[in-house]
C-alpha cells in the first residue's frame, strides 16, 4: 500500500518568496503531523491535525507559517516571505490514532537562497 | 514542557556485539516513549514503544528498550548488532494524556563495524 507522500521532494526558492509543501497521508489516517528537521537535529514539531482541525499549532515558529487540511486528508504547509533560516527538511507524518505510532514521508527539502 | 536527551551523537559497535543507545526524558505525568530509526534516504520508521506494563519492550529487527522510571531513561538495546543496523536513531516522548505532540531527541548515529 502507499505510504505518506510529500511533494515536492526538493524546493529551492529565493528569500521573500511564498512556498507550499503538500502532504498526502495514508488513506484512513485521521491524524496528521508536520515536523521540521534541520541538519544534525531531531524533528521539531510544527502542527498536528485531528481530522480537518488543527488540534495543536504551538510549534509554528511565527505567523509566516500556516497549514491547512480542508477535507481531513491532504494537507498543505504554507510559508510566506521565506527566510534563509527556513531552510530545512519538512516532514509530514500520519497516524491511525495509535498513540505515537507515526508513519513519516520522506520529507520536502526546502532551500532558501 | 517535555524534552528528550540523547547524550551520544555517535555510537560505534563491532558486528556481533551488544549495543545500547541512550535516552533520558522529561515529561509531566507518565510518559509514552518511542524509538524511531532513519536509514539513509528513507523516512523515519517506528521501531518500538512503551505505553504501560512490562518495562522491557520488544520491537522490530530484534531491538528492545527498557523503561526505567526512577532514572527517567528509555535506552535502546540489541543483543547482537548487525551491519544493517547502522542508521540514525531518535528517541521520542509525549505525556500519556492530553498532548498528542511527540517530542524528539537530537538523534544518535549508530555505526556497526564489520
Chain B residue numbers with beta carbons less than 8 Å from the beta carbon of A3 are 43
Does residue A3 sit at the B interface (CB-CB below 8 Å)? yes
Q: What percent of chain B has pLDDT over 90?
A: 82
Distance CA B77, CA B110 (A): 12
pLDDT at B98 over 80: no
Distance CA B93, CA B34 (A): 6
Distance CA A11, CA A23 (A): 14
Question: Which DSSP category does B62 fall into?
Answer: G
pLDDT at A1 over 60: no
Distance CA A51, CA A70 (A): 9
Distance CA B85, CA B34 (A): 17
Q: Do B44 and A43 touch (CB under 8 A)?
A: yes
Residue A65 CB partners (closer than 8 Å, separation 6+): A46, A77, A78, A79, A80
pLDDT at A99 over 70: yes
pLDDT at B96: 79
pLDDT at B101 over 60: yes
Does residue A107 sit at the B interface (CB-CB below 8 Å)? yes
Mean pLDDT, chain B, rounded, equals: 94
CA distances to A30, A91, B70, B102 from A8, in Å:
23, 12, 45, 24
Q: What is the pLDDT of residues A50-98, one digit of tens each?
A: 989 988 999 999 999 999 999 989 999 999 999 999 999 999 999 987 7
Contact at 8 Å (CB) between A34 and A89? no
Mean pLDDT, chain A, rounded, equals: 94
Q: What is the pLDDT of residues B12-63, one digit of tens each?
A: 999 999 999 999 999 988 899 999 999 988 889 999 999 988 999 999 899 9
Chain B residue numbers with beta carbons less than 8 Å from the beta carbon of A102 are 36, 44, 46, 102
Label residue B81 by pLDDT band (50, 70, 90).
very high
Q: Do B102 and A33 touch (CB under 8 A)?
A: yes
B95 forms bridges with which residues in the sheet? B31
Burial class (CB in 10 A: 0-12, 13-18, 19+), A101: middle
Query: In this structure, what C-alpha cell is assigned to residue B73?
Result: 531513561
Distance CA B84, CA B30 (A): 33
C-alpha B39, offset from chain centre: 14
Closest CB to A105 among B43, B49, B105: B43
pLDDT at B95: 83
pLDDT at A102 over 60: yes
Distance CA B90, CA B44 (A): 9
Q: How far is B28 from chain A (nearest CA, A)?
A: 16
3-state secondary structure of B25: strand
Q: How far is A113 from chain B (nearest CA, A)?
A: 23
Amino acid at each position: 500500500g502507499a505510504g505518506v507522500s510529500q511533494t515536492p521532494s526538493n524546493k529551492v526558492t529565493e528569500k521573500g518568496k511564498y512556498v507550499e509543501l503538500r502532504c498526502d497521508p495514508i488513506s484512513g489516517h485521521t491524524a496528521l503531523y508536520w515536523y521540521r528537521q534541520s541538519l544534525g537535529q531531531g524533528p521539531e514539531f510544527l502542527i498536528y491535525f485531528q481530522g480537518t482541525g488543527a488540534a495543536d499549532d504551538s510549534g509554528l515558529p511565527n505567523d509566516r507559517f500556516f497549514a491547512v487540511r480542508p477535507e481531513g486528508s491532504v494537507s498543505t504547509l504554507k510559508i510566506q516571505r521565506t527566510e534563509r533560516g527556513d531552510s530545512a527538511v519538512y516532514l509530514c507524518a500520519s497516524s491511525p490514532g495509535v498513540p505515537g505510532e507515526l508513519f513519516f514521508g520522506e520529507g520536502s527539502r526546502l532551500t532558501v537562497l | 514542557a517535555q524534552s528528550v536527551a540523547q547524550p551520544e551523537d555517535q555510537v560505534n559497535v563491532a558486528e556481533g556485539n551488544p549495543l545500547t543507545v541512550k535516552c533520558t526524558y522529561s515529561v509531566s505525568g507518565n510518559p509514552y516513549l518511542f524509538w524511531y530509526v532513519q536509514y539513509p534516504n528513507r523516512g523515519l520508521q517506528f521501531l518500538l514503544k512503551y505505553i504501560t506494563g512490562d518495562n522491557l519492550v520488544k520491537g522490530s529487527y530484534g531491538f528492545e528498550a527498557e523503561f526505567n522510571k526512577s532514572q527517567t531513561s528509555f535506552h535502546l538495546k540489541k543483543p547482537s548488532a548487525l551491519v544493517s543496523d547502522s542508521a540514525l536513531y531518535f528517541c521520542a516522548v509525549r505525556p500519556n494524556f492530553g498532548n498528542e505532540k511527540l517530542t524528539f531527541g537530537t538523534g544518535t548515529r549508530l555505526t556497526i563495524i564489520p
